[in-house]
Amino acid sequence: MNSNTFRMPAAVLLATGAVALLTAPPASATAGTPGGGEGKAGAVVLRTGLDVGLLNKTVHVPMKATLNEVSAPATAEKTALTVTLDGVEGNKPVSVLNATVATSKATADKNAAAAEVNLAKARVHVPGLPLLSLIEVEKVTSKAVCEAGKKPVASANVLGTVTALGKKVTLSAGGPTKVEVPGVGMVSMELSGTETTSGTAAAAALRLKVAVNPLNLNVAQVDGEIVLAEAHCESPKGPAPTTKAPERPGQPGQPDIKTQTGTGTGTGTGGATTGSGTGSGGTPDANLAETGGGSLTPFITGGALTLLALGGGALFLTRRGRAQ
């Protein structure tokens, strides 16, 4: 009887676990989707942010212009940019940039984003100095690449000779290079600026800080900044975590409880295992099958023990009577 009292709690625990499994909401499997989709990239051949002060007026005219500015996916090619400013150079177009090659390209998808700029044989002008180039360069390039799962990279190069305000200069990576011409003004040039983070990259081949006072063609002063060959990118976001549904080997809606395989030849009633076959877990009585018995097993086992005790006593009395 003691052995049966230990089996009953085990059966109760199994039944409780089966009920909890059936009542729990099923987890749904979600396919991995990009957290932020494709990467981002952009490029621009030239960008100006200048303030033009007019000589005969107490006003300042902003000069903001871009050449071949693109956002992925796109490609642009243009070799000349002119800007018209009211009250400047007789209201005639101001030629800001002329080049033999001026291209920008940007691409982006779920795997990588990249931007690239190429500029060759370029001359940059500012209002008030139509005949003197602010700067002339042979070739400048910049590139930014952001691949998913990799560290972004950026590069910028200024190749060949550089001339600023009519003077040939040697650019240094250690700091800005300044060129000053009396009666004309000053240009400060910064070479090959790059910056990278864990998910972004940016490059600018040449950055110019301009402060000129041409005192010509109604222009008193020009101040601001010009950027040549700028590229930037942002890495694609990785796939979102996938939630995997828990495996349920059993039949839908049924507790997955394995029954013990019997090796005897006796047949029990009330759901006990039969012969050497495997019991079924499809009925509530199967919750007790882990202990090798059915729902009436305690009573059958108790009755067997009682008969065994009575039979043993009768056998003892019979043998004793014969001996006497």
The gap from C-alpha 67 to its chain's centroid, in whole angstroms, comes to 30
Tokens representing 324 are 């006497």
Written as one letter, the residue type at 242 is: T
- Of the two residues 321 and 72, the one the predictor is more confident about is 72
Span 252-268, average pLDDT = 44
Q: What percent of the chain has pLDDT over 90?
A: 46
Distance CA 233, CA 215 (A): 41
Q: Among 10-19, 130-139, 149-158, 263-272, which is the least confidently predicted range?
A: 10-19
- Of the two residues 14 and 292, the one the predictor is more confident about is 292
* Contact indicator for 109, 39 with CB cutoff of 8 Å: yes
Parallel, antiparallel, or unpaired: how do β-strands 101-108 and 112-124 relate? antiparallel
Centre a 10 Å sphere on the Cβ of residue 297 and count the other Cβ atoms it contains.
22
Model pLDDT for residues 230-249, shown as the tens digit of each residue: 999 999 986 544 444 555 55
Would you state the pLDDT for residue 286? 40
Is residue 315 predicted with pLDDT exceeding 70? no
Q: Which among 89, 16, 10, 50 is positioned nearest to 293, based on CA atoms?
A: 10
Centre a 10 Å sphere on the Cβ of residue 145 and count the other Cβ atoms it contains.
23
Model pLDDT for residues 159-208, shown as the tens digit of each residue: 999 999 999 998 877 788 999 998 889 999 988 789 999 999 999 999 99
Q: Which residue has the tokens 């998913």?
A: 148
Average pLDDT of the residues of the chain: 73
pLDDT category of residue 37 using cuts at 50, 70 and 90: confident
Would you state the pLDDT for residue 108? 95
Distance CA 63, CA 53 (A): 10
pLDDT category of residue 30 using cuts at 50, 70 and 90: very low
- Of the two residues 243 and 48, the one the predictor is more confident about is 48
Distance CA 71, CA 314 (A): 102
203, β-bridge pairs: 194, 231
Three-class secondary structure of residue 22 per DSSP:
helix
